[in-house]
Amino acid sequence: MTSPTRLTVDALSRAFGGRQVVADVSLSIEAGEVMCLLGPSGCGKSTTLRMIAGVERPDQGQIRIDGVPVFGAGPTLPPEARGVGLMFQDFALFPHLTVAGNVAFGLKGDSAAKTRRVGELLEKVNLCGFAQKHPHELSGGEQQRVALARALAPRPRVMLMDEPFSGLDNRLRDGVRDATLALLKEEGAAVLLVTHEPDEAMRMADEIALMRAGEIVQRGAPYNIYNAPVDRAAAAFFSDINVIRGVSKGALTATPFGDFLTPGHADGTPVDIIIRPQHLKIDFDRAGRGPNPTVQDGTPARGTVARARFLGRESLVDFAMADGGLVLTASVPGVFLPKPGTALWLMIRRDRCFVFPAA
Ligand SMILES: Nc1ncnc2c1ncn2[C@@H]1O[C@H](COP(=O)(O)OP(=O)(O)OP(=O)(O)O)[C@@H](O)[C@H]1O
């Protein structure tokens, strides 16, 4: 059985002062699904979210919640009539209300039902003993949990979250993200979460919509979007990348690692072969005899360590390659920290490479 579609957005657009900030954005989210709108600062994520919330007016497009038009195909519904929960970066708790008062704020109905719902949510966010405290008595993480409980209390059909973890301490963040995700899933709302952090999107999302200059350029499950980026910029958004520039000839491109198949690129066109640092494999030089690669490893190429940085769990090692100025960076387990000048061999897994027209 498929879940009902809670949020449908069709061809939403918005310009400010003649500049198109959101261009033709469409998406749909089902009950219980988390979609992350991911992209660099200024690409139009918050504006998209604000239009769905009803606090920013779109120039064009349609928005439906549970199939009911809230913008564009009938009367425009105000934010409070849309059935959406909102959670922003600064939590925006009411300072004069207690924790219980904050959580009860948007609730309707008799006071016994309200008290029950507030108690239920405070338990779910692990703040049972905090009901009578005021926001200024709470830590950042606790305030975040109150904000989450407040947003979820009226059982919104759609939860809109704008960078909801960015005000938190780094060490807190992963735990809070996991707990938030578990609660969102339990409550079954459709969630649209805006973030500029790829790690956060990978951790939270069922589906990522990658946004750039007002448009969604790619969408998919985290695994797919990471492993099959649409272009060089999409690959680079998720990790550092190595770029090996070549020229396609007869559907082949020559590289220090042998010829690569580059079908679909006309003769003479420059291509970029992209590989993430963790997909470079290193082997020892053994007095110039080099490694014994498997078929998957392909042709090895010799490089000299130019710089090695220890980052704890991993080390980043820059290699100056034997022919022509190419520098490649490999990410290796932190215990391995070769000295500059060490000669090593590199191999690249071809099934981990992406080939794009040169940027
Ligand atoms: N009310 C407004 N008037 C004029 N320009 C605006 C307005 N709101 C947003 N913008 C501009 O629109 C662009 C997109 O803004 P938006 O906040 O949607 O981006 P974002 O992707 O959420 O970025 P960030 O992660 O930095 O919040 C920015 O260049 C911003 O300056």
Task: Give the amino acid at 211.
Answer: M
Given 210, 237, 264, the domain boundary residue is: 237
Task: Tell me: do 22 and 170 sit in the same domain.
Answer: yes
Given 237, 262, 283, the domain boundary residue is: 237
User: Model ipTM?
Assistant: 0.94
| pLDDT digits 0-9 by tens, 34-51 | 999 999 999 999 999 999
C-beta of residue 102 within 8 angstroms of C-beta of residue 150: yes
CA 44 to ligand 1: nearest atom: 18
Tell how strand 301-310 and strand 34-38 pair up: unpaired
CA 39 to ligand 1 center in whole angstroms: 12
Tell how strand 158-162 and strand 190-195 pair up: parallel
Residue owning the nearest CA to atom 4 of ligand 1: 16
Tell how strand 270-275 and strand 242-249 pair up: antiparallel
Report pLDDT for 64: 97
Q: What confidence category does residue 2 fall into, taking pLDDT thresholds of 50, 70 and 90?
A: low
Residues 88-116, mean pLDDT to the nearest whole number? 88
Task: Tell me: do 113 and 175 sit in the same domain.
Answer: yes
Q: Which of 41-45, 217-221, 223-227, 284-288 has the lowest mean pLDDT?
A: 284-288
Given 237, 263, 284, the domain boundary residue is: 237
Domain total in the chain:
2
pTM of the model: 0.89
| pLDDT digits 0-9 by tens, 129-155 | 998 999 999 988 889 889 989 999 999
Task: Tell me: do 201 and 258 sit in the same domain.
Answer: no
Residue from 147, 21, 23, 31 nearest 89 by CA: 147
Residue owning the nearest CA to atom 6 of ligand 1: 16
- The binding-site residues of ligand 1, defined as CB within 6 angstroms of any ligand atom, are 16, 21, 39, 41-47, 196
Q: Which of 176-185, 189-198, 230-239 has the lowest mean pLDDT?
A: 176-185
Q: Which domain holds residue 22?
A: 5-237
The domain that holds 327 is classified in CATH as 2.40.50.140
Residue owning the nearest CA to atom 7 of ligand 1: 16
| pLDDT exceeds cutoff 90 at 323 | no
| pLDDT exceeds cutoff 90 at 350 | no
